[in-house]
Structure 1
Protein backbone atom coordinates (compact mmCIF):
# COMPACT_ATOMS: atom_id res chain seq x y z
CA UNK A 1 0.00 0.00 0.00
CA UNK A 2 1.31 3.44 -0.89
CA UNK A 3 2.09 6.10 1.68
CA UNK A 4 -0.63 8.64 2.33
CA UNK A 5 1.03 11.91 1.23
CA UNK A 6 -1.63 13.97 3.00
CA UNK A 7 -0.35 12.75 6.37
CA UNK A 8 2.81 14.65 7.15
CA UNK A 9 4.51 15.46 10.40
CA UNK A 10 6.02 18.72 11.56
CA UNK A 11 9.65 17.65 11.77
CA UNK A 12 12.16 20.11 10.42
CA UNK A 13 15.18 18.20 9.10
CA UNK A 14 17.22 21.39 8.84
CA UNK A 15 17.27 21.74 12.64
CA UNK A 16 19.14 19.69 15.25
CA UNK A 17 17.13 18.84 18.35
CA UNK A 18 19.76 19.65 20.97
CA UNK A 19 17.72 18.06 23.72
CA UNK A 20 17.67 14.69 21.93
CA UNK A 21 20.65 12.51 22.86
CA UNK A 22 20.58 10.58 19.59
CA UNK A 23 20.89 13.77 17.51
CA UNK A 24 23.75 15.13 19.61
CA UNK A 25 25.43 11.73 19.63
CA UNK A 26 25.12 11.42 15.87
CA UNK A 27 26.86 14.76 15.28
CA UNK A 28 29.53 13.88 17.83
CA UNK A 29 30.31 10.54 16.18
CA UNK A 30 30.10 11.92 12.64
CA UNK A 31 32.77 14.54 13.30
CA UNK A 32 34.79 12.82 16.05
CA UNK A 33 33.73 15.24 18.77
CA UNK A 34 32.57 14.76 22.33
CA UNK A 35 28.98 15.31 23.44
CA UNK A 36 29.97 18.43 25.43
CA UNK A 37 31.71 19.83 22.32
CA UNK A 38 28.53 19.43 20.28
CA UNK A 39 26.42 20.99 23.04
CA UNK A 40 28.78 23.98 23.10
CA UNK A 41 28.42 24.34 19.33
CA UNK A 42 24.63 24.30 19.66
CA UNK A 43 24.79 26.93 22.42
CA UNK A 44 27.10 29.13 20.36
CA UNK A 45 25.65 28.75 16.84
CA UNK A 46 22.06 27.65 17.37
CA UNK A 47 20.46 24.51 16.03
CA UNK A 48 20.64 24.99 12.25
CA UNK A 49 22.06 21.72 10.88
CA UNK A 50 24.16 23.21 8.05
CA UNK A 51 25.85 25.71 10.36
CA UNK A 52 26.50 23.09 13.04
CA UNK A 53 27.96 20.62 10.57
CA UNK A 54 30.25 23.30 9.10
CA UNK A 55 31.49 24.35 12.55
CA UNK A 56 31.79 20.76 13.78
CA UNK A 57 33.87 19.87 10.73
CA UNK A 58 36.15 22.85 11.39
CA UNK A 59 36.47 21.89 15.07
CA UNK A 60 37.09 18.25 14.23
CA UNK A 61 39.92 19.17 11.86
CA UNK A 62 41.86 21.11 14.52
Structure 2
Protein backbone atom coordinates (compact mmCIF):
# COMPACT_ATOMS: atom_id res chain seq x y z
CA UNK A 1 0.00 0.00 0.00
CA UNK A 2 1.35 3.41 -0.87
CA UNK A 3 1.63 6.37 1.45
CA UNK A 4 -1.01 9.08 1.46
CA UNK A 5 0.93 11.90 -0.18
CA UNK A 6 -1.64 14.44 1.04
CA UNK A 7 -0.64 13.73 4.64
CA UNK A 8 2.60 15.70 4.89
CA UNK A 9 3.16 15.47 8.63
CA UNK A 10 6.69 14.11 8.28
CA UNK A 11 7.93 10.57 8.54
CA UNK A 12 5.48 7.80 9.24
CA UNK A 13 6.53 7.03 12.79
CA UNK A 14 5.94 3.25 12.79
CA UNK A 15 6.94 1.83 9.39
CA UNK A 16 9.71 2.35 6.86
CA UNK A 17 8.80 1.99 3.19
CA UNK A 18 11.64 0.90 0.91
CA UNK A 19 9.37 1.67 -2.06
CA UNK A 20 9.59 5.42 -1.47
CA UNK A 21 13.01 6.94 -2.16
CA UNK A 22 12.32 9.95 0.03
CA UNK A 23 11.50 7.70 3.00
CA UNK A 24 14.70 5.71 2.55
CA UNK A 25 16.69 8.94 2.35
CA UNK A 26 14.97 10.54 5.35
CA UNK A 27 15.17 7.46 7.61
CA UNK A 28 18.82 6.84 6.68
CA UNK A 29 19.59 10.43 7.62
CA UNK A 30 17.64 10.12 10.88
CA UNK A 31 19.55 6.97 11.87
CA UNK A 32 22.90 8.30 10.60
CA UNK A 33 23.48 5.41 8.21
CA UNK A 34 23.76 4.91 4.47
CA UNK A 35 20.69 4.07 2.44
CA UNK A 36 22.19 0.62 1.78
CA UNK A 37 22.64 -0.01 5.51
CA UNK A 38 19.02 0.99 6.12
CA UNK A 39 17.75 -1.26 3.31
CA UNK A 40 19.82 -4.17 4.64
CA UNK A 41 18.48 -3.67 8.17
CA UNK A 42 14.87 -3.57 6.94
CA UNK A 43 15.43 -6.78 4.97
CA UNK A 44 16.83 -8.48 8.10
CA UNK A 45 14.27 -7.39 10.70
CA UNK A 46 11.26 -6.03 8.81
CA UNK A 47 10.05 -2.47 8.33
CA UNK A 48 9.04 -1.60 11.88
CA UNK A 49 10.92 1.51 13.01
CA UNK A 50 11.68 0.15 16.50
CA UNK A 51 13.11 -3.12 15.15
CA UNK A 52 15.25 -1.29 12.59
CA UNK A 53 16.49 1.13 15.22
CA UNK A 54 17.51 -1.77 17.48
CA UNK A 55 19.21 -3.50 14.52
CA UNK A 56 21.19 -0.36 13.74
CA UNK A 57 22.39 -0.08 17.31
CA UNK A 58 19.83 2.32 18.70
CA UNK A 59 21.00 5.31 16.66
TM-score (norm 1): 0.62
Q: Distance in 2 between matches of 1:34 and 1:45?
A: 17
**Root mean square deviation, CA, Å:** 2.2
Count of matched residue positions in the alignment of Structure 1 and Structure 2: 49
8 Å contact from structure 2 (residues 15, 48) kept in 1: yes
Counterpart position of 2:8: none
What residue ranges of structure 1 are gaps of 5+ in the alignment? 1-8
Secondary structure in 2 matching 1:15: coil
Task: Give how far 1:13 is off.
Answer: 4.5
* C-alpha displacement of 1:54: 2.4
Paired with 2:20 and 2:48, the residues of 1 have a C-alpha distance of 14
Q: Distance in 2 between matches of 1:20 and 1:53?
A: 19
Q: Which has the larger radius of gyration?
A: 1
* More helix by percentage: 1
